[in-house]
Amino acid sequence: MSFEWVWTDNNLRFLAEAFLINFEIALIAMVLALAVGLPLALMSLSTIAPVRLAAKLWVDVFRNLPLILMILFLALQMPESLKSGWQDNAPGFLPDALRSQFILAGITGLVLYNSAVLAEVFRAGILSLAKGQQEAAAALGMTYGQQMRLVVLPQGLRRMVPATVSQLITLNKDTTLVSIIAIQEVVRSGRILSGTAGNPFSGGGDVQAPILSVMIVIGLMFVAVNLTLSRLSRRLEERGAERTATTPAAPAVAETAPA
């Protein structure tokens, strides 16, 4: 298995630029999934039955559908006016892949699936708090919104950090699925590189790029980014623990009178 292609021509740069597309898609989908997932978690805990049922329906449907199926369905069924409107009016500074008419389907599928999973993560984090926390806030005269905003969520969000980052790592890996709707991301670029390297008719050099070695390099790119996210998650968790830790008081020493 040869890796000579890595430092030949601009092959590694070609893959790195394609990997940046995956990271940009993941970043957009992460922000939107978090913005949707937290309200869904709060809705699922609501005392209003229709609101609670609507949130649970969203979670149960989108969490259990295969992500690749949702992306394909959206790519085929999304209105042409919406797809062409994005392609024609997308900001010019975006890379070509993010101005594709199918990018909305890919990002929407990622957001629908991950918002449902994150909603369950947030709900579990909120329910893990002792009920006395909210009861004490209610005894102080806080409204339900104030209880959640000032007491419950600040504590619950710290507990949710490891599970949330784990899901965001999964989201980053899932961005490779958008290659099935002709978006030029890193896996699709890897297949192109493997097919054109060493082929003079397609502009390649004399060095071959076996598909297995190309995919190994792509895998190492994901490992590097995801390990960084894991380390960041661990650091945030440690800082949260340090912030809430209390130093135990020294035991009192009783004075005894001399005999």
Burial class from Cβ neighbours inside 10 Å (0-12, 13-18, 19+) for residue 187 reads buried
Q: Per-residue confidence at 252, pLDDT binned at 50, 70, 90?
A: very low
The ranges assigned to domains in the chain are: 4-240
pLDDT for position 253 = 39
pLDDT for position 203 = 56
pLDDT for position 1 = 67
Higher-scoring residue by pLDDT: 234, 38: 38
Q: Per-residue confidence at 199, pLDDT binned at 50, 70, 90?
A: low
Instruction: Please tell us whether the domain made up of 4-240 is placed in CATH 3.30.70.3450.
Output: no
**What is the pTM (predicted TM-score) of this model?**
0.82
pLDDT for position 182 = 78
pLDDT in tens, 48-103: 899 999 999 999 999 999 999 999 999 999 999 998 888 888 888 888 888 888 99
Lowest average pLDDT, out of 4-8, 36-40, 63-67, 84-88, goes to 4-8
Lowest average pLDDT, out of 37-46, 221-230, 246-255, goes to 246-255
In the predicted model, what is the mean pLDDT of residues 121-150? 79
